[in-house]
Amino acid sequence: MSEQVRVRFAPSPTGHLHIGGARTALFNYLYARRQKGVLVLRLEDTDAERSTEDSARMILDDMKWLGLDWDEGPKVGGPYGPYRQSERLDLYRAQQERLLETGHAYYCFCPPELLESKRKQAMERGDAQPKYDGTCRTLPMPEARARAAAREPHTLRLKIPDSGSTVIHDRVRGTVVFENKIMDDFILVRTNGLPTYNFAVVADDAAMKITHIIRGDDHLSNTPRQICLYQALGERLPVFAHIPMIMGPDRSRLSKRHGATSVNAYAEDGYLPEAMINYLALLGWAFDDKTTLFTRQALIDKFSLKKVSKNAAIFDPAKLLWMNGVYIRSLSPEEYVKRALAELLKARLLSEPLDEPARAWAEKAALTVKEKIKRLAELPQSMAFYFGEEVECDEAARAKLEQAKEHPEVFKTLHAKMTVLKSFSIQALEALMQELITAADIKFGVLVHPLRAAITGRVNSPGIFEVLELLGQERTIKRLAAGLKSVGIEV
C-alpha cells in the first residue's frame, strides 16, 4: 500500500487570508481530497511582533467560509500537534541540539552591526548578494558552548556544504539546481532564541510527516536551504510543488492596487464561496483549455499537480464577478432567498423579527432580481425601489417620464383605473394595461416605460407587473401620481 499523502497549509497569522494564500490552501485541500490524504493546518506564528490572535481567528474563519476544512490543526487537533509554532518551541530546541551535536549547526557570535558593515563593504566591492563570511564556523565547540552558556548574544547557523549543488525535483517547475557555494550559512535560531522560518518549517514538516509541500513559488528560493536542512537532520525529503505567482491584470504582482485582495473582502461584497473556490482553482491550474465551471466535487475529482502551470496566473476581478453571477443564477430558489434575506437584513432594509407575510414578500421580491445581480451585495441597491414610500428618478428615468406628456389622458385613465382595481394582481394589471393600449392604439412600451420610471425611478427593473403587485396598490398609485405630477400631469 502506498504511503498516505499528507499536505499542509501553513499561513502566518498577520492579517486576513488573501487571494494567494487561499489559492495555496485550496490546491493543498484539493490534492489531499483527491489523494484521500490528510490536510494539516499549521499556524506559523513565531514572529511575535507581526502575528496576532485576531489574525489567526480571521484566517480560520476565512478558511471555513470557503469550506476548506482541515483534518489536523487548530480546533480539531491531531496526532502531531500542537499546530501553532509558538507552542512547539521545545521541538525546535531539541532539533537545534541535534544539529549542534552532529556538527551541522554552529553558534555565531558576530554582532549584527559587524555583519551589516561587512555586508555593505562586500556590496561596495561588487558582490550583489554577499554571504556570511564564516567567521564563527570554525570556533571550537567547547568554547562556543561556554560563551553561549555565559549568555553572550548569539545565533545558530546551518553549515551549508562548500561545494556541490542542491537539486530540487519540483513537480511543477521541474529540476532546479542551486550551486551550494552561493548559499549562505543561514540562521536557524535568532538571538532571541526563536527559530527562523526556514528552520521551523522544516522541523515541523518533518515532525508532521508532510509528504508533499505545495506552496507559492515565492518560496522556491528558500527550498535549497530547506533541503540542506532536511539532509542535516537526516530526514526524508518531501515532494515539492511550487505553484505560480498570482498577478493582476497588468501583470504586476497582485496587490491592493488591483482591488480587494483579502478573501474576507469578497465575502463581505456578496461573493459566493462556491464561486470563489471555482475561480481560485483556475489560478494556475486548468483541466483543459475550455472548461471554466467546476463544482467542488468536480475539482476534487479532476485536480492534479501535473496540470498546474509554471506560468504566472492572472487574477481578473471581472472574470470572478462574471463567475459569481453564474453561481448566483444557478442557486436553487430556496438557497438564493436564504442568502438574499441575510443580505437585506445586514443592509437593514429588513429587520427582525420577520413575520411570515413579510418574509414571503421579501423572498418574492428578492427572486425578481436573481437574474440581474452579480454579487449579493448588489441586492440592497437593486431592490431599493421596493422599500419606502417614494422613489427618486435617475436622469434616464426622468427622460422616460417626460414621454408621458405625449399621452396625458392615457396615464390619467391608468391612474384612475388602478385606483379602483379590486384585485391588484399580475393578471388584473396585465388585463388593464392591455385594455388601455388597445383603446389608445399605442405600443406597450409607450405606456410601460413612463410607468416603470415613475414607480421604480429607473429605466430597468424586473417585470413591471410583478413589481407592481409586490409594491401593492397604495404605493403604486401614490408613486404614479407623484411621477405624473412632476411632469405636469395632474390626476
Residues involved in catalysis = 256
Phi/psi zone of residue 488: left (φ > 0), alpha (ψ -120 to 50 degrees), beta?
Answer: left
Task: Identify which of residues 229 and 340 has a Cβ nearer to ligand GLU in the complex.
Answer: 229
Q: Which three cell numbers stand for residue 404?
A: 408621458
Q: Which of 215, 296, 374, 479 binds ligand GLU (CB under 6 A)?
A: 215
* Nearer to ligand GLU (CB atom), residue 40 or residue 201: 201
Q: Which 429-488 positions form the footprint of ligand GLU (CB under 6 A)?
A: none
Q: Nearest 5°: phi and psi at 195?
A: -75, 150
Helices (H), 67-182: 89-101, 112-124, 141-149
Q: What is the DSSP letter of 162?
A: S
72 binds ligand GLU (CB under 6 A): no
Q: Which CB sits closer to ligand GLU, 45 or 469?
A: 45
Cα distance between residue 273 and residue 280, in whole Å: 10
From the list 4-12, 106-114, 140-148, 430-438, the region that binds ligand GLU by CB under 6 A is: 4-12
The closest of 229, 141, 251 to 185, measured between CA atoms, is: 229
Report in angstroms how near the CB of residue 21 gets to ligand GLU at its nearest.
7
How many residues make contact with ligand GLU (CB under 6 A)?
A: 7
Half-sphere exposure of 188 (CA within 13 A, CB side): 31
Site string for ligand GLU, 171-210 (x = CB under 6 A): ------------------------------x---------
Closest CA to 156 of 126, 181, 192: 192
Piece in contact with ligand GLU (CB under 6 A), picked from 5-13, 150-158, 185-193, 272-280: 5-13
Site string for ligand GLU, 6-45 (x = CB under 6 A): ----xxx-------------------------------x-
Beta bridge partners of 187: 157
Residue from 147, 190, 219, 302 touching ligand GLU (CB under 6 A): that is 219
- Rank residues 201 and 341 by Cβ distance to ligand GLU and give the closer one: 201
Alpha carbons 200 and 210: distance in angstroms, whole number? 13
Buried b (16+ CB within 10 A) or exposed e, 352-388: eeeeeeeeebbbebbbbbbebbbbbbbbbebbbbbee
**Closer of 225 and 400 to ligand GLU (Cβ):** 225
β-bridge partners, 38 = 6
| Residues binding ligand GLU (CB under 6 A) | 10-12, 44, 201, 215, 219
